[in-house]
Amino acid sequence: MQLLSEGDEPVPEFLKVKTAEEIVEMVRSFAPLEAEIVSVQEASGRVLAEDVTAPEPVPHFARATMDGYAVRARDTFGAGESLPALLEVIGEVAMGRPAETAVRPGTAAAIPTGGMLPDGADAVVMVEYTQPLDAHAIEVTRPVAPGDNVLQVGDDVALGEKVLERGRKLRPQDVGLLAAIGMEEVRVFRRPRVAIISTGDEIVPPETRDLPPGKIRDINTYVVASQVREAGGRVGTIQVVADDLDELEAVCREALAAHDVVVLSGGSSVGIRDFTIQVLERFPGSELLAHGVAIRPGKPTILARLGEKILWGLPGQPASAMIVFTAFVRPCLLRLQGVENAGNLETNVRQAELARNIPSVHGRADYVRVSLSNDKGRLTADPVFGKSAMISTLSKADGYVIVPEHVEGLEAGTLVTVHLFSSP
């Protein structure tokens, strides 16, 4: 990158430097995309666009939770090893069907776990506490109270209960709950379509053999696309563009038309070949929300809105790009998917003990890569030092620790919050 502009023009500067907290605040204010309907089978990882209430109770019939005998609890009161209760066995409950006969005083029906409690019965005696007397009678050697070993109607989910709230990111167990209450489809927020563009005359595809001097293989589109998918976004166009203003403008124009979010990497800084700002100036109505964020690495970050569309400019250095994505772009994608606390910097964090000192200087918040390891049950974070141009530092790291702007380093042994690169 050239450091100075040609001619007598002044050195360009970052136009609108924001703190990390200010960026997160902006992201939090973005409205979610519109809702769409998906099948429950496809709903894991999606975010609910409406509250879900149970249209029926679960279970909708009283169910045995143990193998044994359905009884009237009072018939077993006082029963023991020395004085068992004697009950006539009137039949067997078949799985998936109502019992054919009711349990009357002095009788019992064999029942499997999950079987429907017959009329008249109010408890289940576990088979372990019974003895067959003959083909038609048992002895009960332990009493049961009404409701023992039975799941009553609505015990799991009550009729009309609000089971899941709008803004909930559905997990596998939530999908199970939706299935249990008989939902086939749910309304969820649409996933953002994301275009990924990397700029630079030096960037060549990874499959390039005999790498010419001055060229490097594309890293960022690979990292960013993987992170977009992890964050629930849909990856659209992936493109590497030369350092050419007109070409970048054309690619951005197409990308903005067909996607909700465009993530550029490289070209965000203030060198004369850093075109993102100039491209934005060519789009009427574009609103520059941030040019520069007070963190290191990651300062040359751009956030702009163009109507409904969002454009992120990430620094070209791979470590800076990944850190900025994790800290800001991922919350943005989650927010567009309707996640309520998407702007929360604390998502997906671990507490760990710092293994070594981290030096730091005043002026900007330092985002220091760390690798986590488990030392006899204690989680420790080891700083991974190295320039932000080094992809190997990212591969070694699990996340980053933030040394705030006005703190001069952190000492070994300090309990720190590690922000993980992986999605929550």
Residue with the CB atom nearest ligand LQZAQKY5 in the bound state: 316
Could you say whether residue 317 binds ligand LQZAQKY5 (CB under 6 A)? Answer: yes
Q: Which CB atom, from 38 or from 238, has the smaller least distance to ligand LQZAQKY5?
A: 238
Please count the residues of this chain forming the interface with ligand LQZAQKY5, following the rule CB under 6 A: 30
Q: Which CB atom, from 69 or from 275, has the smaller least distance to ligand MOO?
A: 275
Q: Which residues contact ligand MOO (rule: CB under 6 A)?
A: 296-300, 315, 317, 320, 388
Which is nearest to 148 in space by CA: 75, 255, 230? 75
Could you say whether residue 365 binds ligand LQZAQKY5 (CB under 6 A)? Answer: no
Could you say whether residue 315 binds ligand LQZAQKY5 (CB under 6 A)? Answer: yes
**What is the spatial distance between Cα 314 and Cα 227, in angstroms, rounded to a whole number?**
13
Q: Which among 49-57, 106-114, 244-252, 264-272 is the span making contact with ligand LQZAQKY5, rule CB under 6 A?
A: 264-272
What does each C-alpha distance from 177 to 16, 47, 53 come to in angstroms? 47, 15, 11
**Least Å from the CB of residue 193 to ligand MOO:** 26
Could you say whether residue 167 binds ligand LQZAQKY5 (CB under 6 A)? Answer: no
**Least Å from the CB of residue 230 to ligand MOO:** 21
Considering only 75, 274, 366, 382, the residue that binds ligand LQZAQKY5 (CB under 6 A) is 274
Considering only 84, 118, 297, 331, the residue that binds ligand LQZAQKY5 (CB under 6 A) is 297
| Cβ-based burial of 347 (10 A; exposed 0-12, middle 13-18, buried ≥19) | middle
Which phi and psi angles does 47 have, rounded to 5°?
Answer: -110, 125
DSSP SS3 for 173: helix
Radius of gyration of the chain (CA): 31
Residue 16 forms beta bridges with which residues?
291
Cα–Cα–Cα angle for 207, 217, 393, nearest 5°?
Answer: 125
Q: Are residues 351 and 341 in contact, defined by beta-carbon separation less than 8 angstroms?
A: no
The interface partner of residue 252, options being ligand MOO, ligand LQZAQKY5, none and the CB cut-off 5 to 8 Å by kind, is none
Instruction: Report CA 69 to chain centroid distance, whole Å.
Output: 44
Q: Which CB atom, from 335 or from 364, has the smaller least distance to ligand MOO?
A: 364
Dihedral angle, C-alpha 316, 398, 344, 194, nearest 10 °: 40
Could you say whether residue 196 binds ligand LQZAQKY5 (CB under 6 A)? Answer: no
Could you say whether residue 68 binds ligand LQZAQKY5 (CB under 6 A)? Answer: no
Q: Which CB atom, from 174 or from 243, has the smaller least distance to ligand LQZAQKY5?
A: 243
Per CB under 6 A, contacts with ligand LQZAQKY5 among 199-228 are 199-200, 202-203, 216, 218-221
**Least Å from the CB of residue 362 to ligand LQZAQKY5:** 17
Give the contact letters, 378-407, x = binds to ligand LQZAQKY5 (CB under 6 A), - = no: ----------xx------------------
Q: Are residues 238 and 287 in contact, defined by beta-carbon separation less than 8 angstroms?
A: no
Q: Which CB atom, from 320 or from 360, has the smaller least distance to ligand LQZAQKY5?
A: 320
DSSP SS3 for 246: helix
Considering only 76, 141, 268, 360, the residue that binds ligand LQZAQKY5 (CB under 6 A) is 268
Whether cis (ω within 30° of 0) applies to the bond prior to 59 is yes
Q: Which CB atom, from 115 or from 298, has the smaller least distance to ligand MOO?
A: 298
Which two tokens mark 87? Answer: 């009950």
Which is nearest to 362 in space by CA: 327, 323, 403? 403
Could you say whether residue 299 binds ligand LQZAQKY5 (CB under 6 A)? Answer: yes
Q: Which CB atom, from 122 or from 218, has the smaller least distance to ligand LQZAQKY5?
A: 218
**What is the spatial distance between Cα 104 and Cα 120, in angstroms, rounded to a whole number?**
6
Contacts of 46 (CB under 8 A, 6+ apart): 38, 169, 170, 186, 188, 189, 191, 232, 337
**What is the spatial distance between Cα 338 and Cα 33, in angstroms, rounded to a whole number?**
7
Which two tokens mark 54? Answer: 């149970």
Instruction: List contacts with ligand LQZAQKY5 (CB under 6 A).
Output: 1, 3, 198-200, 202-203, 216, 218-221, 265-271, 274, 297, 299-300, 315-318, 320, 388-389
